[in-house]
Amino acid sequence: MKCVLCLVALFAFFSNAVIADDTTAKLILIKEVLNDIITEGNDLSVQYSLFNIGDGPATDVELADSDFHESEFELVSGMTSVKWERIGANSNVSHVVVVKPLKASAFNSTSAVVQYVASEGAEPTFGFSDELGELSIISATEYKRLHASHVWEWFLFSVFCIPSLLLPYLLHFTSKSKYNALSAKKKH
Amino acid sequence: MAPKSNFSKEEELLLQDFGRGLSAKSSAIFYFHAFIVSTVPLYLFSNIQQMFICENAILFGIGTIVSMYFISFAYKNNKFELKHKIAQKRGDGVSAEIHAAVADMDGNKKVSKKEKDERILWRKNEVAEAESIQLAVFNTNATFLAILIFLAFLIFKNYAPTPNYAISIFVASGLTALFSTSSQN
Q: d(Cα B122, Cα B128) in Å, to the nearest integer?
A: 10
Amino acid making up residue B181: T
pLDDT tens string A129-165: 998 889 899 998 888 888 888 899 999 999 999 989 9
Per-residue confidence (pLDDT) for residue B109, from 0 to 100: 63
The reply to whether the predicted model has a pTM over 0.80 is: no
Q: Which residue has the higher pLDDT, A22 or A26?
A: A26
Cβ proximity of A45 and A30 under 8 Å: no
End-to-end CA distance of chain A: 132
pLDDT tens string B33-74: 999 999 999 999 999 988 888 999 999 999 999 999 999 999
Contact B90 A179 (CB under 8 A): yes
Q: Is the pLDDT of residue A73 over 70?
A: yes
The fraction of chain B above a pLDDT of 90, given in percent, is 49
Q: Which residue has the higher pLDDT, B79 or B22?
A: B79
Q: Which residue has the higher pLDDT, B68 or A15?
A: B68
How large is the ipTM?
0.81
Mutant choice from B123, B135, B143, B176 vs A, greatest count of A C-beta within 10 A: B135
Per-residue confidence (pLDDT) for residue A28, from 0 to 100: 94
- The minimum CA-CA distance between A86 and chain B, rounded to whole Å, is 50
Contact B93 A186 (CB under 8 A): yes
- CA nearest to B162, candidates B38, B55, B67, B81: B55
Give B36's contacts in chain A (Cβ within 8 Å): 163-164
| C-alpha pair distances (Å), B13 with each of B7, B91, B112, B122 | 10, 17, 19, 10
Per-residue confidence (pLDDT) for residue A12, from 0 to 100: 52
Per-residue confidence (pLDDT) for residue B4, from 0 to 100: 47
Torsion of the alpha carbons at B161, B162, B166 and B172, rounded to the nearest 10: 10
- CA nearest to A65, candidates A53, A79, A76: A79
The count of residues in chain B is 185
| A147 touches B at CB < 8 Å | no
- The minimum CA-CA distance between B86 and chain A, rounded to whole Å, is 9
